[in-house]
Structure 1
Amino acid sequence: MKYTMKYTVFFDLGNVLLFFDHHKMKQQVATCCNLSLEETSFLLQKYLDDYERGSITTQTLYSDLLELGGKSISFTDFTHALSNIFQPNLPVIALLKKMKARGVKLFLLSNTCDAHFSFAQKHFAFLQLFDGFILSYEVGARKPEREIYQKALEIGNCSHKECFYVDDVPAFVQAARSLNIDSEIYLKPEILHHHLIQRGIL
């Protein structure tokens, strides 16, 4: 079945465009802050929701963890330990480049924090392909909340009939579908390629 061309595509970041290793992050933060792995895991999980909403800053996280661990390290070293956890998903990035060459508008829709996104922007040039970013810490809402999808449509300047959304988390895809946004779960590059061709995006 062939669909009408979609002009705006929203992509999740983690495990779609960039693979990430949360265990590596916890190990690195534990080492640099002189905390146990168990303490670090608990604290990062405790802060996660507020951090990804932008309710607390990386500076706050840095200060609190250093106070608990009693070790003096630079803010730069801390943010590197927190963020040096990504590897690019090259086949999907290649698809991004093909879409961009066809004039498709690309937007990133991600639950993330300022440290991770700043690191990604510095190290992964493919992010320059995007026309805009809808980031949880900037909009004050996280997937699967309705507000972040509505903000995506607003920033993307499109209706739910004019876009396509890709995410690896089924609950986030289902939330988008409940708003009548055409969405698919990311499984592997070949399947994503099929979805894009099926809709006339590629």
Structure 2
Amino acid sequence: MSPPPRAVLLDLGNVLVFHDNGLLFRRLGARAGLPAAEAERRLAGAGWTAANRGLLGAEGIRRTVCEALGADVPAEEFNALWSSHFTVHEEVLPRVEGLVGRVKLVLLSNTNVLHVAYLRPRLPLLERFDHLVLSCEVGHVKPEPSIYQEALKHAGCEPHEAAFFDDIPEFVQAANALGIRGHLFTTAASFDAQLEAMGL
């Protein structure tokens, strides 16, 4: 049996917070006078990766999305809409809190500056993480090896000494390919069982 991991790397979306993209498209579509499906179609290539890489700041995101939707939404209203699909995953937070001080705790997330600004004050637990590796700050995105290596650097451990949890199988597979112990995150209960199986 392997020893317990020295570091736990956690995804943000659908792990610490839920994001309902369908709700986001409905709300943005309604604001632009479009059906949700049309809003989703128009936004399919609207700078998501550029925003996640930090190539678009807050105003760049607003402009890109508004242009795609054919609507001019003022910044304050847009920022609220853009993050209106998040809810905190309250059930998982105590288990993550229990890892503080026992392992290196690193967030590893594909995200953009507006979502970070919205979620930080709503997730005070993030302040207790050892490091936050945010794609919009480091310029790399999952599943690129470089962003996992960035997380390992801040965790101060070898790949096999780290466990990684994400809700997207492709990102878990990319971690496994680097020798990290990747696990698919599904529910708070299964996360608890996975940690216990690793000796945490």
What TM-score results when the alignment is normalised by the length of structure 1? Answer: 0.88
**Aligned runs of 1:76-155 on 2, under 5 Å?**
76-100=76-100, 102-155=101-154
| Structure 1 residue 10 displacement after superposition | 0.3
**Aligned runs of 1:40-79 on 2, under 5 Å?**
40-46=39-45, 47-66=47-66, 72-79=72-79
Rate the CA distance shift 1:68–1:50 in 2: closer, same or farther, 3 A.
closer
| Structure 1 residue 70 displacement after superposition | 6.2
Select the structure that is richer in helix: 1
Q: CA–CA distance in 2 between the matches of 1:199 and 1:158? A: 16
* Higher mean C-alpha displacement, 104-113 vs 187-196: 187-196
Q: CA–CA distance in 1 between the matches of 2:19 and 2:13? A: 6
Moved over 3 A (4+): 31-39, 64-73
Count of aligned pairs: 199
Aligned to 2:157: 158
Aligned to 2:192: 193
Deviations 1:177-196 (A, max 9, x none): 00000111112222211221
- Partner of 2:50, secondary structure, is helix
- C-alpha contact (below 8 Å) 1:83/1:119 kept by paired residues: yes
- C-alpha contact (below 8 Å) 1:32/1:81 kept by paired residues: no
Rate the CA distance shift 1:115–1:24 in 2: closer, same or farther, 3 A.
same
Rate the CA distance shift 1:59–1:39 in 2: closer, same or farther, 3 A.
farther
Rate the CA distance shift 1:59–1:167 in 2: closer, same or farther, 3 A.
same
- C-alpha contact (below 8 Å) 2:3/2:198 kept by paired residues: yes
In structure 1, what residue type is equivalent to 2:104?
Answer: K
| Structure 1 residue 140 displacement after superposition | 1.5
- C-alpha contact (below 8 Å) 1:111/1:137 kept by paired residues: yes
Q: CA RMSD in A?
A: 2.0
Rate the CA distance shift 1:27–1:160 in 2: closer, same or farther, 3 A.
same
What are structure 2's unaligned runs of at least 5 residues? none
Q: CA–CA distance in 2 between the matches of 1:134 and 1:62? A: 23
Rate the CA distance shift 1:126–1:33 in 2: closer, same or farther, 3 A.
farther
What TM-score results when the alignment is normalised by the length of structure 2? Answer: 0.89
